[in-house]
Chain A
Amino acid sequence: MDDQEAAAIAAGLPAHLAAQMQDEVLSAGTELERLERLLSDAVDQLLERFGRAHALCVAVDGVPAALREGLDTELRGAMTALQFQDMASQLVVHARRRLATVADCLGNLAVGEEEEGCELQWVSRACPVAQRAVDAGSVELF
């Protein structure tokens, strides 16, 4: 859907329906914000616990080298996987920006300020997160 099509659809909305839709969109934005905080809190706790586990392993004498090496490998793998939170956070922030744009537009329609439809300032840039998995990314030296 391009900007003109979206504006035409928005312009045809009754004010009361625009107000209800704005409420829904704002609620979705709030829920995404809560999701972002939950993810952040969970990852902070996981990192702290992984760090403590690693420190314990290093501090204890007599841990067989093979076990220590295995734990290091698993910890490194966990650290790569935990970076999902950074990517998820960027996706959530981008989605919230899009929702805020739609909510603003619906808000204008709800109070009848935009009889001809609203000027949609779409979030034009695609989200920088294109990854579909948490496998380690590429490295390029110039």
Chain B
Amino acid sequence: MRSILAVDDSASMRQMVSFTLRSSGYEVIEAIDGQDALDKLGSREVDLVLTDQNMPRMDGLTLIRQLRGLERYKRVPILVLTTESGDEMKQAGRAAGATGWMVKPFDPARLLEVVGKVLPQ
């Protein structure tokens, strides 16, 4: 089963993302911010990371930079799911190593389509 780490400080967003992904057969691990995500990834590996940008303790772009610095996460797809829609922020995400940028609110069918597209076959 493919596993996805969903990182968001909003409990309702984590619930909606998890429900969407689990109902399509993915295993979902949840983290409440970037630091929590790093802690959880210390003890296990995932096939994809889906992260919010604005979070306490550690934001999404910092998380991406940290993960891209780790050998085992150099090529793992990382999607950003955020309310941030400005080009400047998107380019910062791209420079940090994000695989894609999704602006909230998400459409569950579209999220599954994008996840299926970026996950390695």
A positions within 8 Å CB-CB of B: 40, 43-44, 47, 51, 54, 76, 79-87, 89-90, 128-131, 134-142
Minimum CB–CB distance from A56 to chain B (whole Å) comes to: 14
Q: How far is the CA of A127 from the CA of B7 in the complex (A)?
A: 20
Q: Is the CB of A142 within 8 A of B20?
A: no
List chain B residues, Cβ under 8 A from A83. 12-13, 16, 104-106
Q: Is the CB of A137 within 8 A of B103?
A: yes
B residues 95-121 near A (Cβ < 8 Å) are 98-110, 114, 117-118
User: Is B62 positioned at the interface, with any CB of A under 8 Å from its CB?
Assistant: no
Size band of the interface chain B makes with A: 35 or more
Q: Is the CB of B12 within 8 A of A85?
A: yes
Minimum CB–CB distance from B89 to chain A (whole Å) comes to: 8
User: Is B90 positioned at the interface, with any CB of A under 8 Å from its CB?
Assistant: yes
B positions within 8 Å CB-CB of A: 10-13, 15-16, 19-20, 23, 53-54, 82-86, 90, 93-94, 98-110, 114, 117-118
List chain B residues, Cβ under 8 A from A76. 107-109
Minimum CB–CB distance from B114 to chain A (whole Å) comes to: 6
Q: How far is the CA of A86 from the CA of B82 in the complex (A)?
A: 10
Q: Is the interface of A mostly helix, strand, loop or mixed?
A: helix
Q: How far is the CA of A81 from the CA of B108 in the complex (A)?
A: 11
- The listed residue (B19, B53, B90) touching A51 by CB distance below 8 A is B19
Known: A128-B54, A137-B102, A142-B101. A43 touches B110 (CB 8 A): no
Q: Is the CB of A130 within 8 A of B85?
A: yes
Q: Is the CB of B105 within 8 A of A87?
A: yes
Q: Name which residue of chain A comes closest to B108, CB basis.
A: A76
Q: Is the CB of B108 within 8 A of A44?
A: no
- The listed residue (A84, A90, A130) touching B105 by CB distance below 8 A is A84
Q: Is the CB of A79 within 8 A of B16?
A: yes
Residue pairs across A and B with Cβ atoms less than 8 A apart, 7 shown, are A43-B12, A79-B108, A82-B12, A131-B85, A131-B105, A139-B103, A140-B100
Q: How far is the CA of A87 from the CA of B110 in the complex (A)?
A: 19
Q: Is the CB of A44 within 8 A of B12?
A: yes
Q: Name which residue of chain B comes closest to A90, CB basis.
A: B83
Q: How far is the CA of A113 from the CA of B85 in the complex (A)?
A: 41
Q: How far is the CA of A134 from the CA of B105 in the complex (A)?
A: 6
List chain B residues, Cβ under 8 A from A81. 105
